[in-house]
Chain A
Amino acid sequence: MTAVDDAPIAVDEVPTLTVTLRIRRMNPEGNADHAPGEDYWEEFQVEAHATDRLLDALHKVKWEQDGTLAFRRSCAHGVCGSDAMRINARNRLACKTLLKDLNPAKPILVEPIAGLPVEKDLIVDMEPFFASYRQIMPFLMTSGPTPERERLQTPAQRERFEDTTKCIMCAACTTACPVFWTDGQYFGPQAIIGAHRFIFDSRDEGQWDRLEILNDTAGVWKCRTTFNCTEACPRGIEVTKAISEVKRALNTGKI
């Protein structure tokens, strides 16, 4: 018996298609056709494989057609969280979105994530987002001497906050939240997720400091249970559920 692949697929056998990208652009310095800071739509046509991701199509535009197109990406594999953008009106990671799932027959709309100031094209200023995260003190808080070995925890204790450890800080959830769009004061779902990860960690002792911070009229009570965050999260975190758990801890006084 020989182990032979019955039907080897040659690379060019993957069907190719032409997709149109409609990209929301903004150049703070302006260019020949557009004033500084003006935002406008621009269309690009690229040849792509059905198995390509939107990020590949953006690369083609940037590398072959218009080098001024600006967007962030780092890992290109859904790990770093730097390429969240609004794709066909939904927040997703460009590197985890296959073109064939986007109905390539129609132009694909690509916009920067909403609610944060745009710096250029698809790049937004993430600082307000990170400032909210810093507020909830995302670090281990303990008392007493540091143990010589690791701090132990049962699998059940770990399971309690497993879901919220998966966050990659892409901001897809926070910038999908209508309350965040309207009210610059709201922490946004991600900061609450970040707090949840420590509040329900048996090794941490700063729960009530964090809950105190979230117990703010601009904190967890601004959540209107819209579920946009849960739908947007590329890591599949049940964001709204975690927010409700924080509310319950505040209402019952029990963690």
Chain B
Amino acid sequence: MTAPELTHPLPRTRRRLTPALRWWWMFQRISGVVLVALIFTHLFYNLILGGGVSQIDFGFVAGKWAAPLWQWWDFTMLVLAMLHGMNGMGYLINDYARSKRSRGILHILLGAATAVIIVLGTLVIFTFDPCPAGANPQNLNVPLCQELGKL
């Protein structure tokens, strides 16, 4: 048997990590930590404080989003979670998509889905009408709507 032919040690195409990719790498770690704090506070407030899980209904959400704190809280959670998830899925696509074409298509679909959800979610949070006209008052947050003069 002959000794194996040795390949030259530097044949591969070098693709250095660009500053943008490094930024995303850091973002993934930092957003992960921030999300843990945001999400657990969110869960604690919704599911354990007050009336527990049974308190959640239209009126409860209306009451929360009347306060800018919760609007911005939920907005931050939405954006961070979507970007964190998008970046993580993007890593998976890079690892597992076999052809350049399928990789490109999956990245475009992922970006589009992320953009749509962030835009829709933001719209809902900031243009939310707590007291839609003609709704059954049983389903509404009555004190809030009275305060707003809509009931």
Chain B min CB distance to A74 (Å): 15
Interface centre among B11, B91, B95, by most chain A C-beta atoms within 10 angstroms, is: B95
Chain A interface size, under 10 / 10 to 19 / 20 to 34 / 35 or more: 20 to 34
A20 at the B interface (CB under 8 A): no
Partner of A185, one of B12, B21, B96: B12
Is B101's beta carbon under 8 Å from chain A?
no
Q: Is A182 an interface residue (CB 8 A)?
A: yes
Contact A179 to B95, CB < 8 A, known contacts A127-B7, A135-B9, A217-B15: yes
Known: A131-B7, A135-B9. A215 touches B95 (CB 8 A): no
Considering the chains assembled together, what is the distance between the CA atoms of A219 and B10 in angstroms?
Answer: 13
Residues of B within 8 A of A131 (CB): 7, 9, 11
Residues of chain A with a CB closer than 8 A to B96's CB? 182
Using Cβ atoms and an 8 Å threshold, which residues of chain A touch B12? 135, 185, 218
Does B14 count as interface, using CB distance less than 8 angstroms?
Answer: yes
B25 within 8 A of A: yes
Chain B residues whose CB sits within 8 angstroms of the CB of A215 once the complex forms: 16-17
Q: How many whole Å from A117's CB to the nearest CB in chain B? A: 13
What total of A-B pairs shows CB separation below 8 Å?
A: 40
How far is the CB of A187 from the nearest CB of chain B, in Å? Answer: 9
Query: How far does the alpha carbon of A145 sit from the alpha carbon of B147 in the complex, in Å?
Result: 85
Known interface pairs A131-B7, A131-B9, A134-B9; A218-B95 also in contact (CB < 8 Å): no
Q: Contacts A135-B9, A135-B10 hold; do A217 and B95 have CB atoms under 8 A apart?
A: no
How many residues of B are in contact with the other chain, CB < 8 A?
Answer: 19
* B134 close to A (CB within 8 Å): no
Q: Which residues of A contact B14 (CB under 8 A)?
A: 216
Interface residues of A in 123-160 (CB under 8 A from B): 127, 131, 134-135, 137
B117 to chain A, nearest CB (A): 24
Q: Which residue of B lies closest to A125 (CB)?
A: B4
Determine the chain B residues whose CB is within 8 A of the CB of A212 once the complex forms: 16
Q: Is A254 an interface residue (CB 8 A)?
A: no
A137-B10 Cα distance, complex, nearest whole Å: 10
Chain B contacts of A224 at CB under 8 A?
A: 91, 95
Give the nearest-CB partner of A178 in chain B: B95
Q: Across the interface, which residues of B come within 8 angstroms of A251, CB to CB?
A: 22, 26
List CB contacts (< 8 Å) of A163-221 with chain B: 178-179, 182-183, 185, 212, 215-219, 221
Q: Judge whether A221 and B21 touch: CB under 8 Å.
A: yes
Bound CA–CA A119/B96 (angstroms): 25
Residues of A close to B7: CB separation below 8 A: 127, 131
A217→B9 contact, CB < 8 A: no
- When distances are taken between beta carbons in the complex, the residues of chain B under 8 Å from A135 are 9-10, 12
CB-defined contacts of A219 to chain B, threshold 8 Å: 17
Residues of B within 8 A of A (CB): 4, 6-7, 9-12, 14-17, 21-22, 25-26, 91, 94-96
Name 8 extra pairs, CB < 8 A, besides A137-B9, A216-B15, A216-B16.
A127-B4, A131-B7, A135-B10, A215-B16, A217-B15, A219-B17, A221-B17, A251-B26
A residues whose Cβ falls under 8 Å from a Cβ of B: 127, 131, 134-135, 137, 178-179, 182-183, 185, 212, 215-219, 221-222, 224, 251
- 7 nearest A-B pairs in the assembled complex, by CB-CB distance: A134-B9, A217-B15, A182-B95, A135-B9, A182-B96, A131-B7, A215-B17
